[in-house]
Each structure stands twice: as structure tokens, then as C-alpha cells.
Structure 1
Amino acid sequence: MKPMIPLALLAATLLAGCATGKLGTAEKLALYRDHAGEPVKDFRYLGHLNGWAPIGDSALAVWTKPNEAYLLEFAGRCQDLEYATAISITQFANRVNARFDDVLPVGPGTSSIKIPCRIDTIRPLDVKALRASEKELREASAVERQTKN
């Protein structure tokens, strides 16, 4: 089991990333990991997503319902994920499985050779806590910008 990053240290790191108004990939991944539960072997997927957000080229957040989301981390780099306008997720019997299923980036900004991105781990996200933390970071960033002017 990985040690948890102390919340104060995480907040300081994230606020440092917010100084530019936008979180960097490492800070965003740290935020999502901090709000993710223990790894699960799979999740239910009925063929459509309520939303998705790439986190660099190594992770992806997917919302299966407005208040149900998962952090998917890949076995390696996921080519074209940050430029995709859509994604496709493989599944079997309405279940997406870690270490068996893939994400495929789709869209005009992606390469013509589609390389599947193998899902290494799946972790459920605490959507409510994640949204609250994102709101706090936006507000802190706005206050910091106001004090600089």
C-alpha cells in the first residue's frame, strides 16, 4: 500500500501549480490520486460516458454517471490522448477490466495508426470531494491573481 501524501503538502504543491492559473500534469494527477479509492478490478460500462478528462499521457478520468467516476492509469504512455476529441473503451459483458481492456484515442488530432492504451489500474473517484478541492484551488488561484494586481 502506498503512503498517503499529507493533505497540507498536497495543498501546497497544488497551490504552487495554481500560481500560473492552471494545474500542471503532475499536480493534476496528484489531485486525482488523492481523491481515488483503492484499485478495483473492473467497473460497469454500458457503452457511453458522461464525461472524460485526460491527465497527461499516463492517466484518464472517466465519468460513467454524473457522480460516478474512475481514475484509469495506463501501463505506459498513451499516444494522442491529450489531442483526442473522443475515446473508445474496450469492454466485455458491460465490464471494463484492469490489465485486459484498452482506451483508444479518436479524432482528427490523433495519428492514423491507432495504438491501444492498456488500462493498468482502475480506482473509483470521490467525485464530490474532487469537485470541492478543484473549487478551492480555483478560488485560491483567483485570490492570488487579485493580490498580484
Structure 2
Amino acid sequence: MFRSCIVFALVAVLAACSSVPLAQREQQRQEAYASAAGTPVRSFHFFTLWSWEPLGDSQVVVYTRPSEAWLLDLDGPCQNLRFTQAIGLTSSSGTVFTRFDKVLTGRSYMPCMITQIRPVDVKQLRVTQEAQRKIDAEPREAPAAADH
């Protein structure tokens, strides 16, 4: 019993410590995509979903090619968006439209209406992400020799 309490407490402490950097990383990703996103468009051509990344519960980035991405704003929190293994997009004749097409996150979840589409400048995004990765590193002082 005592052992399981210690394990539970350790897991709770580790979870609390890791949640702060995760939220900060998510905010940085949202900011990077927002700064690289252009003005809203009505639609985009969609034939293949190359990759995708959730940015919270109401935003997702879809890559239709490695160098072509779209930032999609969704109406309200989209159930299971952060945790699903795959998403789908509805489209009409290979085109995804705002206020008409949806993001699908699974059979048992309601589709999420796309309210805004913005093209992402992938080159600018990579520059922004690289700048976020840089850190100010300073060498540590050598420990003082212990007198014995």
C-alpha cells in the first residue's frame, strides 16, 4: 500500500512538471503557424493529406504536400482532435471550402466545421521554428576542488 502511494505521488509530480512545458510548446507552435499564415482564403485544392498537426482543440494544420500547408480554424472545440491517430477532410470535387467542409476525427465524434482557411508560408514557418529552438547557453563554472 505504502509503495503504491509513493508511485502515485511520483507520477502526479512528474505529470505536473511536464504540463507546463507542453502548454508552452503548444503556444509556441500556435504562434509560429499564426505568424506564417497568410490572409484567409475561401478554399484550397485537396487530393492527398500528406501530414497534419493539431494546434489545440479548435485549430489544425494540414499539409497537402511537404511544402504546402493550410491553417484551419474550426467551430468550437473539436472532440478528440488532440488525441486521434488520423483525421479526414470532406471536400467537393477535390476542393475544401470554408463554412461547408469539415474535419473528421473519428466515427463516434461530431465533424468539425472549417470556419477559416489560411495558407501557411512553410519556409517562413521553418525559420520561425528554428529561431524558437535556439537557446542562450552559458558554460557552467567548474566545481571547486574539495579539500581533503
TM class by shorter-chain length? Answer: 0.7 to 0.9
Please name the residue that 2:83 is paired with: 83
* d(CA) in 1 for partners of 2:26, 2:139: 24
Please name the residue that 1:128 is paired with: 123
* d(CA) in 1 for partners of 2:81, 2:139: 35
Q: Number of aligned residue pairs: give it.
A: 121
Q: How does 1:1-149 map to 2 (within 5 A)?
A: 20=21, 23-46=24-47, 48-106=48-106, 113-140=108-135, 143=136, 146-147=137-138
Question: 1:49 Cα shift?
Answer: 1.2
Provide the aligned C-alpha RMSD in A: 2.1
* d(CA) in 1 for partners of 2:22, 2:54: 18
State the one-letter code of the partner of 1:59: Q
TM (norm. structure 1) is 0.73
Question: 1:80 Cα shift?
Answer: 0.2
Question: Which of the two has higher C-alpha Rg?
Answer: 2
* d(CA) in 2 for partners of 1:78, 1:30: 20
State the secondary structure of the residue aligned to 1:136: helix
* d(CA) in 2 for partners of 1:79, 1:121: 18
Give runs of ≥4 in structure 1 deviating > 2 Å. Answer: 19-28, 146-149
Give ranges in structure 2 of 5+ residues lacking alignment: 1-19, 141-148
State the one-letter code of the partner of 2:128: S
Point out which structure has higher relative CO (alpha carbons under 8 A, 6+ apart). Answer: 1
Give ranges in structure 1 of 5+ residues lacking alignment: 1-18, 107-111
